[in-house]
A and B are shown apart, each in its own frame.
Chain A
Amino acid sequence: MRPAALWRPAGLVVLLAAAAVIPLAKNVTITHVGVFVLLYVGAAVAWNIFSGFTGYISLGAAVFFGTGVYTVALLSKHLNLAGGVVFALYPLAGLVAAVVAVPFGLIALRVRRHTFVVVTIAVFFIFQLMASNFSWTGGTTGIFPPFLNWDPATYDMPFYYTALIIAVASAVLAWAIWGSRFGLQLRAIRDDEDRARGLGVKTMRVKLTAFVISGFITGVLGGLYFYFQSEALPQYAFNPFFDLTIALMAFLGGFGTLSGPIFGALLLEPYLGYAQFQVSNAYVAEGVLGALFLVVIIFLPRGILPTVGEKLTALRASRQRRAAERATGPPPVPPAGATVAGSAAGPGARGAS
């Protein structure tokens, strides 16, 4: 095993260990922002499982998030649930979101590219309108959970670890899908949907499955949000900003890669969370987010990780070539070692970065 191959697992272990000990510092602000960071890591990974792998940009993830929020909110309101038992509702929130994802996907996935994006936006607005207009959702006043009699110093801890588990589980799921037959079918759709269908991929079924999986995870995260933020309001449960933020995170880190969305969320959400606490005017933070988005799209169109990965691969290849030249003198034939190393590092690095 080359030493370089150890970097990735080692980095993951360090990251996980850091994530696990952060709440032990007992800093309420850091833990609170930490829950948001993990929530967005999970949501960005879930978004990427569908949008990143298939190339269908969805701006309707907040539909699943809001469905999750309202599922937990309504259940705990009508069943008078309070306390630790609410954590058992999260999978249910995911299930309801997954059920919503089926008709949503059946309609939206009939169209492609622009029209798909627009349909997801339209469905999103339908849901937001329903949440604020139906009486059983509490309308614009929303639903508030019963007061949880927990110690404020450690209030966020259970949410933190639950979010950590969900985020890690989604990342593992994304990794498992990536290399599987199912993942290959998704990526084939991304490259050329008509050809994929010609080769026998049941495109509708495959796309819909990914859409539902993505919806399930996002719904679970929405369920978590309800007790964590103690509110279910139409404008925050179904938030257009949520859609945009997770898309930006995925694009920032690397659209359609495995670690890109995680990296993007880890990079961006601390800033956004911090801005929420510190910047007196949230609109300044919003403007900065937009500007950042433009910079990323124009200068790093493929995201930070793929761009850096390419640079590293090129650097490594040229260093190996130079080492080979020093050992044998200027080679009359193309250096075999360099090309082998290059090709071994090339697709591998891109595939997993």
Chain B
Amino acid sequence: MGTFLQAITDGVLQGGVYGLMAVGLTLIFGVLDLINIAQGILVVLGAYLSYVLWTHLHIDVFVGLLITIPAMFILGVGIQYLFIRPLRGRERTSMSLLACYAVAIIIEGILYQIFGSNYVSINDYWTSPQAEFKVFGYYLPYIYLLGFALAVIFVVAIYLMLYRTQFGRSVRATMQDHTAARLIGIDVNRVAALTFGIGVGVTAAGGMVFGTLNTFNPNTGYDLISRLLAIVILGGMGSIGGALGASVLVITLASLVDVYWNPEWSTVVFYGALVLVLVFRPQGLFGRKEARAQ
């Protein structure tokens, strides 16, 4: 029973962190109609930024977010401005996906160049044994709770931004109908750039928590992006609540398989669930049918 509870707790708490990364992805998809395939490597980049700030400057990872989040935001806006905005024409959707893939490869190459292929992790106070507390007879590291809290704060902030601000209104209008949004005077390009920036900016927070909980190298980006894509599709593309729900669900499932069966197979169960959902409910668990048909 203890193992079961622990697996569930791990799943829910880690699911929140994946949810944060997935929300960035699904937000970008909803507004720009593009799958940011670079999201995985950007999370890894965020993790490396926190790692560098901690290892070389001894800045606590949570304080470091004050630097890494704006940095990733600017990077996101830059990517959108330079490589996504100029794309035009009938194959725009596929092109933008491939452009993101190209950006991912470049970042991966640069990370390999700087850090090599050795696995690293952020070994600060939060990963030390002191930063744990005992609950129902097993140890739970604080970072799990703090990471989850961070994810919740960010998701709530994004939610409030979308539903309580003028900018959020523009974002939602753009998600519903690009042309109509443009016609009523919304600067769609600006909305797209800022959304891309926000979607990439949250990877700094996600990457920080991920890097504290796991070891990573530049290749980790592939593993991450495939998980995130599975989550986003499960949740229904473009649905923010769906992304959060699906990630908690699926990470808990993977965590259970991890404990009761074999850690190596937990990822397969993940994709298996994805395939099953697509066969029986192609729009995702929480998605509307043909939400963004074109």
Interface residues of A, Cβ cutoff 8 Å to B: 55, 57, 107, 110-111, 113-115, 117-119, 121-123, 125-126, 129-130, 133, 240, 244, 247-248, 251, 255, 281, 283-284, 286-287, 289-291, 293-294, 297-298, 301-302
**Contact of B89 with A301 in the complex, beta carbons under 8 Å:** yes
Q: Is the CB of B265 within 8 A of A111?
A: no
Asked if B180 is at the interface of the complex by the 8 Å CB criterion, the answer is no
In the complex, which residues of chain B have a beta carbon less than 8 angstroms from the beta carbon of A293?
98-99, 101-102, 105
**Is the pair B108, A286 in contact by a Cβ cutoff of 8 Å?**
yes
Residues in A whose Cβ lies below 8 Å from that of B91: 55, 255, 301-302
Instruction: State whether B35 touches A251 (Cβ < 8 A).
Output: no
Which of A113, A133, A301 sits near B93, CB closer than 8 Å?
A: A113
Q: Are B93 and A114 closer than 8 Å at their CB atoms?
A: yes
Interface status of B274 (Cβ within 8 A of chain A): yes
Report yes or no: A298 in contact with B105, Cβ–Cβ below 8 A: no
Taking the closest CB of chain A, its distance from the CB of B115, in whole angstroms, is 11
Contact assessment for B226 and A122 in the assembled complex, using a CB-CB cutoff below 8 Å: yes
Q: Contacts A111-B282, A115-B233, A284-B113 hold; do A291 and B87 have CB atoms under 8 A apart?
A: no
**Considering only CB atoms and an 8 Å cut-off, how many residues of chain B contact the other chain?**
47
Contact status of A289 and B105, CB under 8 A, knowing A114-B93, A115-B237, A133-B265: yes
The reply to whether the CB of B145 lies closer than 8 angstroms to some CB of chain A is: no
| 15 pairs from A and B in contact (CB 8 Å cutoff) | A114-B34, A114-B237, A118-B229, A119-B233, A125-B267, A129-B268, A130-B268, A133-B265, A248-B98, A251-B95, A283-B108, A287-B110, A294-B106, A297-B83, A298-B86
A contact patch SS: helix
A117, A244, A286, A301: which contacts B35 (Cβ < 8 A)? A117
Closest chain A residue to B112, Cβ basis: A283
Which residues of A lie under 8 Å from residue B222 when comparing CB positions?
125, 240
Tell me whether B29 is interfacial, beta carbon within 8 Å. Answer: yes
Which residues of B in the span 203-238 have a Cβ within 8 Å of any Cβ on A?
222, 225-226, 229-230, 232-233, 237
Residue of A nearest to B232 (CB): A118
A293–B93 CA distance with the chains assembled, in angstroms: 15
Beyond A126-B272, A247-B98, 8 additional pairs, beta carbon < 8 A? A110-B279, A123-B275, A287-B105, A287-B110, A293-B99, A293-B101, A294-B103, A302-B91
- Per the bound structure, the CA–CA distance linking A251 and B91 in Å amounts to 11
Q: Give the residue among A118, A126, A133 with the most B Cβ atoms within 10 A.
A: A118
Nearest CB in chain B: distance from A51 CB, A: 9
Enumerate the 7 nearest inter-chain pairs by beta-carbon distance, A residue then B residue, closest first. Answer: A287-B109, A290-B105, A293-B102, A290-B106, A283-B112, A290-B102, A286-B109
Q: Is the interface of B mostly helix, strand, loop or mixed?
A: helix
Is B126 an interface residue, CB under 8 A from the partner? no
Q: Which single residue of chain A is at the shortest CB-CB distance from B262?
A: A133
In the complex, whether B160 has a CB less than 8 A from a CB of chain A is: no
Which residues on the A side are within 8 Å of B103 (C-beta)? 290, 294
Smallest Cβ-Cβ distance to A288: which chain B residue: B109
Given the known interface contacts A57-B94, A293-B98, the answer about A122 and B271 at a Cβ–Cβ threshold of 8 Å is: yes
Q: Which A residue sits closest to B223, measured CB to CB?
A: A125
- State whether A107 touches B226 (Cβ < 8 A): no
Q: Report Cα–Cα, A126/B274, bound state, in Å.
A: 11
Which residue of A107, A113, A130 has the most chain B CB atoms within 10 A of its CB atom?
A113
A290 to B112 CA separation, bound complex (whole angstroms): 14
CA distance A110 to B108 in the complex (A): 32
CB contact between B282 and one of A110, A240, A284 (< 8 Å): that residue: A110
Q: List residues of chain A with CB within 8 A of the CB of B237.
A: 114-115
Asked whether A297 lies within 8 Å of B229 as measured between CB atoms, the reply is no
Known contacts A117-B97, A125-B226; A107/B105 CB under 8 A: no
Query: Chain B residues with Cβ under 8 A from A130's Cβ?
Result: 268
Q: Please indicate the chain A residues that have their CB under 8 angstroms from the CB of B278 in the complex.
A: 107, 110-111, 115, 119
CB distance from B277 to the nearest CB of A (A): 11
Smallest CB separation, A193 vs chain B (Å): 11
B88 within 8 A of A: yes
- A270 to B34, alpha carbons, bound, how many Å? 32
Interface residues of B in 253-294 (CB under 8 A from A): 264-265, 267-268, 271-272, 274-275, 278-279, 282, 294
Q: How far is the CB of A119 from chain B (nearest CB, A)?
A: 6
Contacts of A290 in B (CB 8 A): 102-106, 109
Q: Establish whether residues B264 and A121, one from each chain, have CB atoms under 8 Å apart when the complex forms.
A: no
Chain B residues with CB under 8 Å of A281's CB are 113
On whether the beta carbons of A129 and B267 are closer than 8 Å, the reply is yes
The answer on a CB contact under 8 Å between A294 and B99 is yes
**The residue from A55, A287, A289, A297 contacting B99, defined by CB atoms under 8 A apart:** A297
A122 to B94, CA, bound (A): 17
Best-surrounded residue of B29, B93, B98 (most CB of chain A within 10 A): B98
**How far apart sit A251 and B83, CA to CA, in the bound complex (Å)?**
16
Whether B113 pairs with A301 at a CB distance below 8 angstroms is no
B177 CB, nearest partner CB in chain A, Å: 18
What residues on A are CB-neighbors of B95 within 8 Å?
251, 297, 301
A286-B94 Cα distance, complex, nearest whole Å? 21
With A121-B229, A130-B268 as contacts: A294 and B109 at CB distance below 8 Å: no
Min CB distance, B269 to chain A, in Å? 10
